[in-house]
Amino acid sequence: GDSVTQMEGPVTLSEEAFLTINCTYTATGYPSLFWYVQYPGEGLQLLLKATKADDKGSNKGFEATYRKETTSFHLEKGSVQVSDSAVYFCALRGTGFQKLVFGTGTRLLVSP
């Protein structure tokens, strides 16, 4: 079945450092790919998405590119802030399906 694998955390960075959180997926067809973020005490919220190969999703300085050849959707940000500390979830939605399949999440801790 469809699945998502993302790097284990926590990822600990200093403010203004470069961030990469790796995400790879297994799916048949052409899934849509998502990054969701969960800030402390809040519900999950969509950060960005991409619906076809080579699409780049971006939001709040974060970017991820849908790479079908490597089945990856890595999350990047050039300069993280303390306020980016949260848990990040990579997810996919398979072709013809409504449900999202999530990875296990990666906790990001950014120190001043």
Partner 1 sequence: DTGVSQDPRHKITKRGQNVTFRCDPISEHNRLYWYRQTLGQGPEFLTYFQNEAQLEKSRLLSDRFSAERPKGSFSTLEIQRTEQGDSAMYLCASSPFRGQDTGELFFGEGSRLTVL
How close are the terminal C-alpha atoms of the chain, in Å?
41
Contact residue for partner 1 among 29, 41, 96, 112 (CB under 8 A): 41
Binding marks (x or -) toward partner 1, 72..101, rule CB under 8 A? -----------------x-x-x----xxxx
Contact residue for partner 1 among 44, 63, 65, 85 (CB under 8 A): 44
Q: Does residue 25 belong to the site contacting partner 1 (CB under 8 A)?
A: no
Peptide bond into 10 cis (omega under 30): yes
Strands (DSSP E) found in 51-98 = 56-59, 62-65, 75-77, 86-93
